[in-house]
């Protein structure tokens, strides 16, 4: 048995007659991934130690040694000099063992009145809170990129699609703002779930609390937690906060997947709506002419990852009896992966979106072969006292006629129009024009350029307000 293993034995296996097998050690150890939590573990331990001193369990001298030791360990970790040992299972025991190595006896007191069950829950919440704040910032950056495109193209006519069929004229800016609003909802959800992340489990010990006279409010305050978790069993076994975050991630990635789908389509030869700068594309090892929108494709693919991670933890939690079970160790890798995925994706989309060049001429191509103002024509008839259903029918016939003749609506002579409805007059040609069509949609939420500019203005104010806080 190695020295380290003996040290570990001291930690929990005093009554074990056989040492753990190497295979089991590898299967059960979490140090390979939970070392990512190390600095948060130290942060938590420092607050815990200060509380222990405050309530008289540690002397002031002991506390100072502990804080000192923990600071040194933090330094070692930052400098990549810390020697992680798989025999010590996890980040908690690794740090505790090193602490005792560094400062002796006081190190053996740090685990008083706590358990790894409440400790790891605390680490996870501190880590996630910190990542949430980074992600919030990244969403803001992405929103700014979107707003910059929307602003440039608040007036750029585009064929709006439903069912991927040409539907009605819109502007590219209006289209962009739909994505702005999706990510704005993601942002709101993130801030809401942050409250439920930002709660203190420490003090729950293994599952029942502890007999020491601890001061949980003090620890919560030290660590910036808004709330002490009310029930000790719940505190050590709850992973709702992980699920909530993973759901946020899944919805965010759904939004990214929709945007990616459009970027890929827009960049294809048949659309030709946009040009993505070379730096965001890659080439082919065999076809010299290729330029592929890899970033958008990968991001679309990574949606699977975000959803898979969510399901992973839902399955993990299903049917688990109280309180802590080892199953929960499996909560880490999926959330680490989802956090990395959305951080990387938001960051790169923010840069890519800003740099995309829009080909305004191509945005309008579908107008040349479709009847996007047919609804406007129907509405024109309604304004002239036709019922909407009758108007719809008349216009259907006009469209059929135009299709057969292979002409556009604006190319139909007034005389022909009159045969379909005598209510149609010279002024019809104004509303058959796409520019006129978008301008007319000037209510809240409509596609008219002034409404789009309004929406952009409101959005900018929102993000400025966020920054101030």
Active site residue 284: yes
Residues 15-54 that bind a copy of itself (CB under 8 A): 15-21, 23-24, 26-28
Residues 333-392 that bind a copy of itself (CB under 8 A): 333-334, 344-345, 347-348, 351, 365-366, 369-372, 374-379, 382-383, 387-390, 392
Residues 118-157 that bind a copy of itself (CB under 8 A): none
Return the number of the residue (74 or 391) whose C-beta is nearest a copy of itself: 391
Residues 281-340 that bind a copy of itself (CB under 8 A): 281-295, 297-298, 300-305, 307-330, 333-334
**For a copy of itself, which residue of 244, 275, 354, 384 counts as binding (CB under 8 A)?**
244
User: Among candidates 151, 149, 143, which has minimal Cα distance to 181?
Assistant: 143
**For a copy of itself, which residue of 5, 67, 86, 161 counts as binding (CB under 8 A)?**
161
| Cα–Cα distance for residue pair 114/208, rounded to 1 Å | 11
Q: Out of 130, 268, 284, 442, which one is annotated catalytic?
A: 284
Residues 195-234 that bind a copy of itself (CB under 8 A): 196, 203-217, 228-234
Residues 410-449 that bind a copy of itself (CB under 8 A): 431, 437-438, 440-441, 443-448
Q: Residues binding a copy of itself: what is the number (CB under 8 A)?
A: 203
Minimum distance of a copy of itself from residue 221's CB (angstroms): 13
User: Among candidates 196, 178, 318, 375, which has minimal Cα distance to 259?
Assistant: 178
Minimum distance of a copy of itself from residue 61's CB (angstroms): 14
Q: Out of 17, 163, 285, 443, which one is annotated catalytic?
A: 163
Minimum distance of a copy of itself from residue 463's CB (angstroms): 15
Active site residue 148: no
Which two three-digit tokens encode residue 60?
A: 């002031």
CA 41 to chain centre: 25
The catalytic site residues sit at 163, 284
């Amino acid at each position: 048995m190695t020295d380290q293993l003996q040290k570990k034995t001291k930690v929990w296996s005093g009554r074990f007659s056989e040492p753990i097998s190497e295979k089991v050690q590898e299967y059960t150890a979490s140090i390979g991934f939970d070392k990512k939590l190390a600095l948060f573990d130290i942060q938590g331990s420092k607050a815990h130690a200060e509380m222990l001193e405050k309530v008289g369990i540690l002397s002031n001298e002991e506390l100072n040694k502990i804080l000192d030791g923990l600071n040194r360990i933090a330094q070692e970790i930052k400098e990549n000099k810390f020697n992680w040992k798989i025999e010590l299972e996890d980040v908690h025991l690794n740090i505790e063992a090193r602490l005792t190595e560094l400062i002796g006896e006081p190190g053996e007191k740090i685990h008083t009145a706590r358990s790894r069950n409440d400790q790891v829950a605390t680490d996870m919440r501190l880590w996630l809170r910190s990542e949430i704040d980074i992600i919030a910032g990244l969403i803001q950056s992405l929103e700014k990129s979107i707003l910059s495109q929307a602003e440039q193209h608040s007036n750029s006519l585009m064929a709006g699609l439903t069912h991927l069929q040409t539907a009605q004229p819109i502007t590219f800016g209006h289209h962009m703002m739909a994505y702005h609003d999706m990510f704005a909802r993601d942002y709101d959800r993130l801030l809401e779930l942050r409250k439920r992340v930002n709660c203190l489990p420490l003090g729950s010990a293994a599952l029942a609390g502890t007999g020491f006279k601890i001061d949980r409010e003090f620890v919560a305050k030290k660590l910036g937690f808004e709330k002490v978790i009310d029930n000790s069993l719940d505190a050590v076994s709850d992973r709702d906060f992980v699920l909530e975050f993973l759901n946020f991630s899944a919805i965010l990635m759904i939004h990214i997947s929709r945007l990616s789908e459009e970027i890929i389509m827009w960049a294809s030869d048949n659309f030709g709506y946009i040009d993505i700068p070379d730096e965001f594309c890659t080439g082919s090892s065999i076809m010299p002419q290729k330029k592929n929108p890899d970033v958008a494709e990968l991001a679309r693919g990574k949606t699977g990852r975000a959803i898979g991670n969510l399901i992973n933890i839902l399955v993990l939690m299903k049917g688990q009896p109280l309180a802590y079970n080892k199953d929960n160790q499996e909560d880490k890798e999926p959330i680490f992966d989802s956090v990395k995925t959305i951080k990387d994706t938001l960051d790169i989309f923010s840069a890519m979106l800003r740099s995309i060049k829009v080909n305004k001429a191509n945005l309008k191509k579908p107008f040349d072969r479709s009847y996007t103002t047919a609804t406007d024509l129907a509405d024109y008839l309604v304004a002239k006292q036709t019922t909407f259903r009758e108007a719809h029918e008349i216009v259907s016939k006009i469209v059929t006629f135009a299709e057969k003749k292979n002409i556009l609506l604006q190319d139909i002579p007034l005389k022909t129009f009159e045969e379909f409805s005598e209510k149609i007059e010279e002024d019809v040609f104004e509303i058959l024009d796409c520019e006129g069509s978008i301008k007319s949609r000037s209510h809240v939420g409509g596609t008219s350029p002034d409404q789009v500019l309004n929406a952009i203005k409101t959005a900018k104010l929102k993000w400025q307000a966020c920054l101030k806080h």
